Amino acid sequence: MSVVKDVFGKTKTGEKVYKYTMENAGGMKVSCIDYGAVIVNIITPDANGVMKDVVLGFDDVAGYEENAPFFGAFIGRHANRIGGASFTIKGITYNLEKNEGDNNLHSGTPDYHKVMYSTECDEGEGYSSVSFMRLSPDMEQGYPGNLKIKVTYKLTDENELYIIYDAVSDKDTVVNFTNHTYFNLDGEDSGTICDHTVQLNASFFTPTGKDLIPTGELLPVSGTPLDFTVEKRVGLSIDDDYEPLKYGKGYDHNFVLDKDLRVFAKAGEAKGTTGRTMEIYTDLPGMQFYSGNNIGTVENAKGGKTYRSRAGMCFETQYFPNSCNIQTFPSSVLMAGEKFHSETMYKFSK
């Protein structure tokens, strides 16, 4: 297996951006760029062997510099929402950017998917990988600690895409990385994902208020439109008269995975209508299933196409939203000198 490096373009400030493309023995390709450590393409076959790009995105750097929906984005230092845009560690309160009402969403400026990274490529028997590295300085985005970050994308001959996160800080901080890639398993140009099916290994979810901040409860999905314990068409119940769906304008919920913390296990799977299947594995305790309700209208997408609401869906493996402020949730606090390591894997088949 190999990694091919090409010029992808330049940023507004003139920095050259490179695209790194991995290709496995079966012809599956994954491309990512050193601007934002963003995933820009995943090209994989359907049941008839037709190769299509199954992730939403753009053809140029300018698109990713804007990128309001977070297409393909590496998210940190803390993914998802933090209530009141603040948290406290050992009696010290840290204030964050209020970028969603009074709360913080996906950490804020500078966004991790809008900065440059250094790179390392690796190739071995049955795999290739690209790693992106950066130092997030003390108090960047309001978070304490100089955080050394490494995110690795690894493609195997078994059509597995691993996302491997590593970090270490010199101060106590919080770390909750995720990836915000939007998947449409019929191809990124195929309309909505409402006819896809999804199954999640999650018997509970974390309910929220109208501000989408968790209440601290864990509620069973049984008997609700959030029950994906058995495979179900995404569009079947997405607009039901159910308060959590109204808050999220569809699916935008953290699911509590049926497994122990730090155990790498299957979280669920999604299927398109043309025979592509994607299984999700992770060692993290939760996963945000987001049905792309707030994409809006994106007119400068790949190939000059326009994306609209629910054109793609995200499976964001994570610690629970606001976990740094809710003691009953698995903690996203990383102590000084402690090594953070987590792995998520998307496995594609037909």
Helix, coil or strand: residue 14: coil
**What is the distance between the alpha carbons of residues 110 and 120, in angstroms, rounded to a whole number?**
23
**Residue 180 is among the residues annotated as catalytic for this protein:** yes
Q: How many CA atoms lie within 13 A of 226 on its CB side?
A: 28
Q: How many CA atoms lie within 13 A of 210 on its CB side?
A: 2
Evaluate whether 270 touches 198 at the Cβ level (below 8 Å).
yes
From the candidates 180, 188, 196, 269, give the one annotated as an active-site residue. 180
| Other CB atoms within 10 Å distance of the CB of residue 22 | 24
From the candidates 160, 188, 269, 316, give the one annotated as an active-site residue. 316
Beta bridge partners of 160: 347
Helix, coil or strand: residue 121: strand
**Residue 188 is among the residues annotated as catalytic for this protein:** no
Residue 100 carries which side chain, given as an amino acid letter?
E
Distances (CA, A) of 59 to 3, 4, 113, 260: 19, 17, 16, 40
**What is the distance between the alpha carbons of residues 205 and 287, in angstroms, rounded to a whole number?**
9
Helix, coil or strand: residue 126: coil
Task: Give me the long-range contacts of 220-227 (CB less than 8 A, separation at least 24).
Answer: 221/255, 226/251, 226/253, 226/255
**What is the distance between the alpha carbons of residues 210 and 217, in angstroms, rounded to a whole number?**
15
**Which are the catalytic amino acids?**
180, 316
